[in-house]
């Protein structure tokens, strides 16, 4: 800025009344201090909250569930196709019986409303 221009601004400010100059100064101060005090980014915090929720308990006792059926032992290298088919059929029947038993157990549990 040139000196003439600064002088022109000073003359204009001098022509204003005292209340206007004071208001401009106050607004200027608010702008300067407001911009200088911009808050920083919030710090990263992780909070944990424990919520106690009742969890339904299965009505099936693990002791009631039988172990998985064991596959039929067979010598695959020396067995005939009929022997292999018979072993596969026996395994399929064992798994079907196992599934039927578990189905009955789950049905009984659902009829009691989840109570043992």
For 20-32, the pLDDT digits (tens) are 666 666 766 666 6
> pLDDT (tens digit, 9 = 90+) per residue, 44-76?
778 888 888 876 666 777 788 889 999 999 998
pLDDT of residue 52: 86
Residue 79 has pLDDT above 80, yes or no: yes
pLDDT of residue 66: 86
pLDDT tens profile 88-107: 999 999 999 999 998 888 88
Query: With a threshold of 0.95, does the pTM exceed it?
Result: no
First to last CA, the chain: 91
Q: pLDDT per residue over 8-18, tens digit each? A: 666 666 666 66
């Amino acid at each position: 800025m040139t000196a003439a221009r600064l002088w022109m601004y000073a003359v204009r400010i001098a022509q204003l009344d005292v209340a206007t100059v004071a208001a401009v100064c106050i607004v200027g101060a608010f702008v300067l201090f407001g911009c200088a005090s911009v808050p920083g980014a919030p710090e990263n915090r992780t909070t944990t909250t424990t919520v106690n929720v009742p969890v339904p308990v299965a009505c099936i006792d693990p002791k009631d569930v039988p172990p998985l059926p064991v596959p039929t032992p067979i010598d695959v290298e020396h067995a005939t196709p009929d022997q292999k088919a018979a072993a596969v059929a026996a395994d399929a029947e064992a798994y079907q019986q196992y599934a039927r038993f578990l189905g009955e157990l789950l049905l009984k549990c659902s009829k009691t409303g989840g109570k043992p």
